[in-house]
């Protein structure tokens, strides 16, 4: 008795998502794995720092610059005249760790509908390119980010459908799971960035809102889990509905 997965079925979608997750988790453990995943490490840092910067803009601040260092760490600088609102400060700090999860959830959602596959990759490539010109002020970012943007644009333009979809799913899972890479950072009050001791994001939130940093770390992880879970549930449900209609 043989069993085969139907092309485009929910089983295939689940399989691709699992494969993306396995690659994200285990690739760094393989020989040269860290080298192969390095561009994606820089990309998740970009997600994180852009989360800070764009939240700063929403809070009425000026997003000044973004730096990404060779070790994969980064910093986003924003400016605001006058006294700093604790609420605004907390939101800007939370925008970093939540940024990758939000982007990851959007990419996973986009992977559920074919008409969104290529446009989503193109929009992401354009955003990476524009942000590099406008805000990025570090050698690592200026070199690596445009290469990623060109690769995404090329995949969207010339890639086969399965590759475009898998790229969305891989990047979505990568972004969503990046919080596990930053687990120690989330549960630390401070961190060393570019040789300087600075408050971590959760430490900065605690400094603004009084509750301990570990409380905010757990809150961010819970919210991230809810976002990723909801996006996966919707994407898989959409796939199942489409296949029911085809049958």
Residue 42 contacts residue 145 (beta carbons within 8 Å)? yes
Residue 185 lies in a domain: no
Exposed (0-12), middle (13-18) or buried (19+): which is 19, by Cβ within 10 Å?
middle
For the whole model, what pTM was predicted?
A: 0.86
Give pLDDT, residue 236: 76
Residue 79 lies in a domain: no
Residue 198 lies in a domain: no
Range of the domain at 129: 10-72+85-176+229-238
Q: Report the alpha-carbon distance of residue 107 to residue 118 in Å, rounded.
A: 11
- How many domains would you assign to the chain? 1
Tens digit of each residue's pLDDT, the chain (247 residues): 333 444 455 556 666 666 666 666 666 666 776 777 889 889 999 999 999 999 999 999 999 999 999 988 899 999 888 788 899 999 999 999 999 999 999 999 998 888 999 999 999 999 999 999 999 999 999 999 999 999 999 999 999 998 898 889 889 888 887 777 778 888 998 887 777 888 899 999 999 998 999 999 999 999 998 998 898 888 877 655 444 434 4
Give pLDDT, residue 24: 65
Residue 140 lies in a domain: yes
**Structure token digits, residue 135:** 């805000």
Residue 103 lies in a domain: yes
In angstroms, the Cα distances linking 128 to 50, 133, 147, 169, 175 are: 10, 9, 10, 18, 14
**Structure token digits, residue 98:** 């939540």
Residue 173 contacts residue 70 (beta carbons within 8 Å)? no
Residue 204 lies in a domain: no
Residue 34 lies in a domain: yes
End-to-end alpha carbon distance in the chain: 23
Give pLDDT, residue 235: 80
Give pLDDT, residue 16: 65
Give pLDDT, residue 119: 96
**Beta strand segments in 69-195, E:** 74-79, 190-193
Give pLDDT, residue 233: 84
Give pLDDT, residue 3: 38
């Amino acid at each position: 008795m043989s069993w085969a997965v139907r092309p485009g079925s929910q089983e295939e979608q689940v399989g691709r998502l699992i494969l993306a997750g396995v690659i994200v988790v285990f690739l760094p453990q393989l020989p040269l794995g860290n080298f192969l995943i390095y561009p994606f490490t820089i990309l998740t840092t970009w997600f994180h720092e852009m989360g800070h910067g764009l939240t700063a803009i929403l809070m009425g601040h000026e997003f000044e610059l973004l730096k990404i260092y060779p070790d994969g760490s980064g910093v986003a600088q924003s400016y605001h005249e006058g006294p700093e609102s604790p609420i605004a400060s907390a939101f800007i700090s939370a925008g970093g760790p939540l940024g990758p999860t939000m982007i990851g959830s959007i990419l996973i959602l986009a992977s559920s509908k074919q008409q969104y596959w290529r446009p989503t990759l193109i929009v992401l490539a354009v955003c990476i390119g524009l942000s590099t010109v406008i805000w990025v002020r570090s050698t690592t970012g200026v070199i690596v980010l445009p290469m990623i943007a060109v690769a995404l644009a090329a995949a969207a333009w010339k890639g086969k459908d399965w590759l475009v979809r898998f790229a969305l799913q891989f990047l979505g899972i990568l972004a969503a799971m990046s919080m596990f890479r930053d687990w120690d950072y989330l549960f630390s009050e401070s961190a060393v960035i570019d040789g300087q001791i600075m408050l971590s994001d959760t430490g900065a939130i605690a400094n603004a809102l009084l509750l301990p940093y570990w409380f905010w770390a757990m809150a961010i992880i819970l919210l991230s889990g809810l976002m990723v879970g909801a996006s996966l549930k919707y994407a898989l449900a959409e796939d199942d509905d489409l296949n029911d209609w085809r049958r």
